[in-house]
Amino acid sequence: MIEQFKEQIRAAAAQQRVLRIRGGGTKDWYGGALAGEILDTRGFSGIVDYEPTELVITARCGTPLAEIEAVLAQQNQMLAFEPPHFGEGATFGGAIAAGLSGPRRANSGAVRDFVLGAQLMDGKGELLNFGGQVMKNVAGYDVSRLLAGSLGTLGLITELSVKVLPRALLDATLRFETSEIEAIRMLNVWGGQPLPLSASCWYQGVLMLRLAGAQAAVDAAVKSLGGQVVPDADGFWNDLREQRHAFFTGEAPLWRLSVPSTTGAIVLDGEQLIEWGGAQRWLRASSNAAETIRSAVRAVGGHATLFRGGDKSAGVFQPLAPAVARIHERLKAAFDPSHIFNPGRMF
């Protein structure tokens, strides 16, 4: 399969044809317009190495994400960044390339924080190795982590090594009826305390808070925080991760607002849902222009992404500062000199 990838990439570079790197296609809607001949990764699958005692798993790009999670669950371990699938065909490589994290991200870390090493095929068809399988090898100019969220624009990720974590012994979900402002205040107060927080969600006057850890820690937190204990809440958090929650239904464009967690209410037309202790705000906004949204978010030190739907002509991602844009351009030129990989998917 590696030779097949190499031939397809070299032929595309020689003929100046663009390629669309694609796994299960469950995130085709994310990012800019799709273009190019499909380079399908699903045939290159399988777990290469998994050592539960070392908390590291290495797998090929086309490995189904569900397969990875099932193998980890057998050892009571997990991908701590809770990557969303958005469909049954989600692949391991696609999850890392998309760089999307689920409800646990604010308390456990983002996708890039868990990537230890990667194997990449560049625009010349050359196979490159970065990082390793232990944290001490990850230093300096860390290309393996740079690939997280790159949407396949730098090359074909063929293999990845990521750190995994043990599953919590116990979790509990609390429900509070509270205003948006009060929810943000409480989340930031709790975030500065030694509490076993693992997820939060505020929507329409209700704050849901997930705790996870040792039984003594969870029991103590439940007693200290109060609120109403919600039984069997796994379905709620899974629906939130996969955007099956009621907020995400409908045709209005979905914006993702990334802001400092202490930011107060952002006044924009449309419904909002708040995650990650206040740091991630989802906005359903049919009447706001892209610049209006981005200006409001930029004013508080954040950035806005047109996550799903809407008019993408103004750009899906917040425009980069000139200096940062130049870094992106140089990286693209270094890894993909013929500009054949996923053109227009990011900027």
| pLDDT for the residue numbered 326 | 95
| pLDDT for the residue numbered 133 | 60
DSSP string, 190-254: HHTSS--EEEEEEETTEEEEEEEE-HHHHHHHHHHH-SEEESS-HHHHHHHHTT-SGGG-SSS-E
Torsion of CA 187, 191, 196, 199, to 10 degrees: 50
| pLDDT for the residue numbered 139 | 43
CA angle 162, 23, 63 (to 5 degrees): 45
Q: What is each CA distance from 163 to 82, 106, 109, 146, 347, in whole angstroms?
A: 13, 17, 11, 16, 30
Q: What is each CA distance from 345 to 86, 93, 96, 122, 180, in whole angstroms?
A: 18, 16, 15, 17, 34
pLDDT digits over 179-228, tens only? Answer: 999 999 999 999 999 999 999 999 999 999 999 999 999 999 999 999 99
Torsion of CA 287, 272, 237, 68, to 10 degrees: 50
| pLDDT for the residue numbered 288 | 77
Tell me how crowded residue 234 is: count the other CB atoms within 10 A of its CB: 10
Tell me how crowded residue 213 is: count the other CB atoms within 10 A of its CB: 19
| pLDDT for the residue numbered 287 | 76
Element (H, E) at 58: strand 56-60
pLDDT digits over 32-71, tens only? Answer: 999 999 999 999 999 999 999 999 999 999 999 999 999 9
Low-confidence ranges of the chain (pLDDT < 70): 132-141
What is the pTM assigned to this prediction?
A: 0.93
